[in-house]
Structure 1
Amino acid sequence: MIFPLSIVSLLGLACLGLLASPYPYLAPGAVLGLVGVAVLYRKPTWGLLGITALVPFEGFFKGNALSGSKFLGVSLILILLLQLAIHQLPGERLRSNIWRFLIWFLILYGLSFITSDDLGMSAGHLRELSVGLILFVITLLIGRELNLDLFARLVTLSVAVTCVMAMFSAKYQDQGRASGLLEDPNAFALLIAFAVPMALLLVLRSPNLLHRLFWGGCCLLLLGGMTKTESRSGLVVLFLSLVIGTLHYRAQLPRIRPRHLGFAMLGAAIVIPLAIYAMPAGYIARIQSLSVLSAGAKGHDDESLGRRASYIVVGGQMIRENPLLGSGPGTFPLHYAPSGYAAAFSANRKIGDLYRRAHNTYLEIFSELGIPAGLLFVAMLGLGLYNLIRARRAWMLRRNWEQADLLTHLSISFLSLTLFLMFLSAPNQKYVWIMLALSSVLRTQAEEAPLLEVRA
């Protein structure tokens, strides 16, 4: 512990230096930072939980050189490197079956970066992706001590708070659609779809009626926020999540008595008409516009669907031109802008409106990094989902139904992320990389747990 004490002494000297400098008002912040680093050294998982809770609030710190997430991330990196160096943290925790795909993905990413059509755009993409990779490593190292119940509570509360802000303040809306503290309503809908399964788990696990009402209220806020985003993809993903959750709990359906069914029907008769009445007219029109898909979507029928169809056309052309290494990370907007579709679907012909991303993570990776890297990325996500399924199965074999239910809801949340990536360009989304690493950790924990003997 001599080395950590030397770091503390160095930071103490820095505080004294700030007091003697022209900026003495920064000294209290340095002291608080020192206290925070000391706490994180003892409880690194608190830092990961803090990063998780701050994801919906990242818009507050956009453009700032220092934010809560950056402070926690840098502090965790330094602390974990130190703990690895002094063998306080075993290096075996870095083992994961995800590496078998991730290493080859990163090699192909590097080759695509070298041959990129625009190194500046690729450098920006690499900087964004590195955040997710760092969180992946951090989660592998400290995921075993992560309190998953607290993880679910923080995700639910943080997203629900931003839903309240987005529903009742035009400041957090984009042309009438709720975007929270994010620029894209679909990105906000992704956070909601990720949080809903966890919120439902908290309702089911509530120890008393008061807690159940509280978490039930959070569920209603999340559903209200999803409605306000007017995201059709969010509605589809949320519906699939609820169907999968219903299938998981189908074994408990025989426990429902006729009187319970009557109350459920009464609640549905009240809630459904109210939901339809409260649903924005624009959202209903957007949902009805999905009917044009059966006849082929055209730009004049639905501009959003037409624009997404143009992304597929441009992305397909990029794949045909560079099937092995793609055009380079982050270069899809460079190919889309001069395609003609950009001008056709741009309302103001501004640079930012012409250089658009693919709004589909899988299409973007296949077109920018090539087919092999795209397949590896899909394989990583598929393996992450498989890890969670195996972990759930392992807990069921050990008759630990509480852990099995937890894994079910985490699996649905992760599945929501993977489905939403088809409608959003977010390869660096923090929840994706945290859950990817967590899937490996949870599977290892479940399979290492001792089997209980079944008495005859």
Structure 2
Amino acid sequence: MIFPLSIISLFGLVCLALLASPYPFLAPGAVLGLVGVAVLYRKPAWGLLGIIALVPFEGFFKDNALSGTKFIGASLALILMLQLALHQIPSERLRSNIWRFLIWFMVLYLLSTLNTDDMGMSLGHLRELSVGLVLFVITLLIGRELNLDLFARLATLSVTATCALAMFSSKYQDQGRAAGLLEDPNAFAMLIAFAVPLALLLVIRSPNLWHRLFWGACFVLLLGGMTKTESRSGLVVLFLSLMIGVWHYRTELTRIRPRHLGFAMLGLVIVIPLAIYAMPAGYVERIQSLSILSAGAKSQDESLGRRASYIVVGGQMISENPLLGTGPGTFPLHYATTGYAKAFSANRKIGDLYRRAHNTYLEIFSELGIPAGLLFVGMLALGVYNMIRARRAWMLRNNGNQADLMTHLGMSFLSLALFLMFLSAPNQKYVWIMLALTSVLRLKAEQAPLTGTKA
């Protein structure tokens, strides 16, 4: 693949301009940038893997205008646009069954923006969502070249590293709850729930004992990190995800013999007490608070009370504006005018009054209207269906390794989709990358020849 001379000339001019400027020390950075762009031009899939690895570390760059993910993402977008224009990448790669929902969703999104209650908030929301849309298109274009095993390793290692930081340093905790490099422990729990199925896959696929011990340690660290977040929603999502994994490997369970049960019982006797002992007391209390929920009962848990108030306010917004909603990003504006905002605000600060819905689906239904909400749900449901079809296609081709991989990637994507019920994150990068990847993997599986060998 020939690297365009025009881009080399552009970087040369930039270097000369920097040398003649008051900041000549920045000139080597332009050279390094040229090298990076050249590598991305040759291997654009490496750029997407880099974004996947850097997402958990974005907190390091939260005060910087230019972060690693932004630089790689912008470079990839420009490079792929150029390669499309030069027909170096076939435009057929943009084909996806997700478009049937996404295009109409964006039409309604723009109509809702024009009819918004606050244009500034809506434009800010659109700017954030555009990052996810760009990643969606990038993944469609280069998803076929993505090394999925390396994808699993990088995602597991990066999230595990932030888990280690959060577990052993109070600097990366929020009032005792692990938050990693993010501001919200629940957002951190979402990353952990995404990485756990991938770590489990690496444990199962390890070629030897040392690899198995290493990835097993990562798996344990992820579980410990989830416990340290004290996220009840994370525990629920993780449990559902692991149950899906047990169902997938149910045929392997038939190999268990009665003599193995003794070792299993011994392991449970050791692990369960240790897990209970290591679990923070606050987390136990938060889990126990779920047991007091009953019809008509008033919750004594402030967090559950806030979430109930979000549902009440969101339901009122939907009833008043069912078609186009109140505009993207305007839920905090409406919530701040209610008595709930003052009741659940500890210090009456602006950040405490203007709260998001902590539920992406509720937020979209209330801000964009019922039609757009249904389209958004349809996109994610279609993504899950794509993974089911991809797994089925590989099983028809007797390729057990690929079927296992589809199962674990499907578990990770389902974890993201479920977590959106407990977190406002419509622009979460992993969501949009995985959404595009589901259609890519399904097409790749269905186009594979039916002469696969049994794994």
TM-score per shorter chain, which class? over 0.9
The Cα shift of 1:274 comes to 0.5
The Cα shift of 1:65 comes to 1.2
**1:229-268 alignment, distance < 5 Å:** 229-268=229-268
Q: Could you say which residue in structure 2 is the equivalent of 1:390?
A: 389
Q: Could you say which residue in structure 2 is the equivalent of 1:350?
A: 349
Gaps spanning 5+ residues in structure 1: where?
none
CA distance in 1, matches of 2:297, 2:271: 33
The Cα shift of 1:14 comes to 1.4
Residue type at the aligned position of 1:17: A
Q: Could you say which residue in structure 2 is the equivalent of 1:19?
A: 19
Residue type at the aligned position of 1:325: L
Q: Could you say which residue in structure 2 is the equivalent of 1:8?
A: 8
The 1:342–1:93 alpha-carbon spacing in structure 2 relative to 1, beyond 3 Å, is same
The Cα shift of 1:453 comes to 8.1
Q: Could you say which residue in structure 1 is the equivalent of 2:35?
A: 35
The Cα shift of 1:296 comes to 4.3
**1:41-440 alignment, distance < 5 Å:** 41-296=41-296, 298=298, 301-440=300-439
- Per-residue CA deviation, residues 320-355 of structure 1 (Å, 9 max, x unaligned), is 000000000000000000110000001010000000
The Cα shift of 1:112 comes to 0.1
Question: Percent of pairs identical after alignment?
Answer: 83
Gaps spanning 5+ residues in structure 2: where?
none
2:399–2:452 Cα contact (<8 Å) kept: no
The Cα shift of 1:262 comes to 2.4
CA distance in 1, matches of 2:26, 2:452: 60
1:255 aligned counterpart, secondary structure: coil
1:243 aligned counterpart, secondary structure: helix
CA distance in 2, matches of 1:204, 1:262: 22
**TM-score, reference length from structure 1:** 0.98
1:63 aligned counterpart, secondary structure: coil
The Cα shift of 1:297 comes to 5.3
The Cα shift of 1:255 comes to 1.2
CA distance in 1, matches of 2:214, 2:227: 20
1:297–1:306 Cα contact (<8 Å) kept: no
1:294 aligned counterpart, secondary structure: coil
Q: Which runs of 4+ in 1 moved over 4 A?
A: none
- Per-residue CA deviation, residues 153-191 of structure 1 (Å, 9 max, x unaligned), is 011000000000001111111110000010100000000
CA distance in 1, matches of 2:58, 2:318: 33
CA distance in 2, matches of 1:254, 1:16: 69
The number of aligned residues is 454
2:126–2:328 Cα contact (<8 Å) kept: yes
CA-based RMSD of the aligned residues comes to 1.3
The Cα shift of 1:267 comes to 1.7
The 1:452–1:120 alpha-carbon spacing in structure 2 relative to 1, beyond 3 Å, is same
CA distance in 2, matches of 1:261, 1:83: 57
1:61–1:67 Cα contact (<8 Å) kept: yes
Residue type at the aligned position of 1:250: R
2:3–2:38 Cα contact (<8 Å) kept: no
1:298–1:305 Cα contact (<8 Å) kept: no
CA distance in 2, matches of 1:147, 1:405: 15
The 1:34–1:349 alpha-carbon spacing in structure 2 relative to 1, beyond 3 Å, is same
The 1:223–1:258 alpha-carbon spacing in structure 2 relative to 1, beyond 3 Å, is same
**TM-score, reference length from structure 2:** 0.98
1:251 aligned counterpart, secondary structure: helix
